[in-house]
Amino acid sequence: MKKYKKDTDIVHGVHQTYITSQDLVPPIHMTSTYHFSNAEHGADLFAGRGSGFIYSRISNPSLELLQDKVALLEGGETAIATASGMSAVASAAMTLAGPGDNFLSCTTIYGGSYALFQKHLPKYNILPRFISPSAATDPAAIENMTDSKTRFLYLETPANPTLDILDIRVWADIARGRKIPLIVDNTFASPYLQRPLELGADIVIHSATKYLNGHGDVVGGIIVADREICTAVREHYFNHFGPVMSPFNAWLISRGIKTLAVRMEKHCDSAMQIAQWLEAHPNVSRVWYPGLTSHPGHETAGRQMEKFGGMIAFEVKGGIKAGRKVMNTVKLCILAVSLGDCESLIQHPASMTHGTYSAEERKKAGISDGLIRLSVGLEDPADIMADLDQAMKQSASE
């Protein structure tokens, strides 16, 4: 296949040659099962001989199109579309580790992933080890947290919700040294900004609910890796636990991806402008945005990301009380969890997305009570700043 540039792959990328009607937009394959040509054909497919579809929990053309597209954009061999980002995380973790094993994750990750690791996997005697964000930039400290029972390393960069940046190459070198895979949750960056596999990671996970889909109308996930790993995920977990994506959702996410380049450019440019404005705002005590030179991960982010993303965290003077007022006073920004949508979304991690952490755990993860997270949408950034400004002024005057 001809190698195109990134923006062209985002729009074109992969085609399904077996669809003969020449549609510009492929149909949604809303089918649970497939007609075998004869008994021998069905038996061959079940035995893994030849290619074809068997049953939509195992594979479906609409899912295959999405999988091939995201694999192409991430520079991976293949992919598995899953019902949600959480089922992508769970499928990978449950495949790679078994009873008596451990794995190492940074403390600061999405609250749902943290709950899966901290509360649920231990029930299967799969034991998490968490490394603090400050130690997670020190190779010796990372190495010291692993042993012969460590089955994988796991990180988010930029991390939810603090936008911490970890050096993917550093973690990948440690994983390679121990002959274990590195999983990177690339949800906050999207493959438009960051391709962890090219930096040495082995598995990329997305909540496709976010930037990949980009329109706030779907929940979905995806795992990208080589064929060996994806086959293991399918055989050891996915096919029989069954967290499969619906063909309709796969179609919507494939549609969403076509505009990934233009959306990410605007998310990033607006976020940079808003982060700089927030940093200079008299009512703001701190801003976390990897594009700011004040961010400790700015240099690493500049090396491994093409731009700095559309997510900002900030704290207003007066802590959580003032922060709550801001969230209750915005008019344009929408008070909601999730991220990566057309609309700007504002939320409070300590009581919402990261309520799965205890107060002490949040402290270790660097998630302060006053932290507000903003997913910068596609509106005119001047309107977003005016909205935040009126909310902060009103909150400060009360």
Known catalytic residue: 9? no
Least gap, CB of 160 to ligand LCS (angstroms): 4
Instruction: Identify which of residues 146 and 375 has a Cβ nearer to ligand LCS in the complex.
Output: 375
Q: Is 18 a catalytic residue?
A: no
Cβ pair 253, 220 in contact under 8 A:
yes
With a CB cutoff of 8 Å and minimum separation 6, the contacts of 164 are: 106, 108, 133, 136, 157, 158, 297, 366
Q: Based on the residue annotation, tell me whether 110 is a catalytic residue of this protein.
A: yes
CA pseudo-torsion sign 340, 345, 348, 352: negative
* Active-site entry in 34, 44, 57, 169: 57
Instruction: Give the residue among 67, 1, 36 at the shortest CA–CA distance from 220.
Output: 67
Cα–Cα dist 350/367, whole Å: 7
Minimum CB distance to ligand LCS, residue 330 (Å): 17
Least distance (Å) between residue 245 CB and ligand LCS: 11
Provide the minimum distance between the beta carbon of 367 and ligand LCS in the complex, in angstroms, as a whole number. Answer: 12
Closest listed residue to residue 333, CA positions, set 278, 279, 377, 370: 377
Q: What does the alpha-carbon distance between residue 366 and residue 361 come to, in Å, rounded to a whole number?
A: 9
List the catalytic residue out of 110, 114, 154, 237.
Answer: 110
Which residue number has the CB closest to ligand LCS?
Answer: 85
Distances (CA, A) of 393 to 82, 107, 388: 43, 34, 8
C-alpha distances in Å from residue 268, one per residue of 4, 104, 122, 285, 375: 23, 30, 38, 22, 10
Shortest Å, Cβ 54 to ligand LCS: 26
Identity of the residue, 283 or 353, whose beta carbon is nearer to ligand LCS in the bound complex: 353
Written as six digits, the tokens of 243 are: 């967290």
Q: What is the spatial distance between Cα 181 and Cα 110, in angstroms, rounded to a whole number?
A: 20
Give CA–CA dist 355/352, Å, rounded.
5
Given the complex with ligand LCS, which of 76 and 112 has the nearer CB atom? 112
Cβ 221 to ligand LCS shortest distance, Å: 5
Question: Which of residues 45 and 330 has its CB atom nearest to ligand LCS in the complex?
Answer: 330
Measured from the CB atom, the residue of 261 and 313 that comes closer to ligand LCS is 313
**Residue 185 bears catalytic tag:** yes
Q: Which positions lie near ligand LCS, rule CB under 6 A? A: 84-86, 89, 110, 112-113, 156, 160, 185, 187, 207, 209, 219, 221, 337-339, 353
CB closer to ligand LCS, 281 vs 289: 289
Active-site residue, from 151, 178, 210, 266: 210
| Farthest CA pair distance, the chain | 77
Closest to 327 in 3D by CA, of 381, 376, 372: 372
Active-site hit among 185, 202, 341, 387: 185
Residues with a catalytic annotation lie at: 57, 110, 185, 210
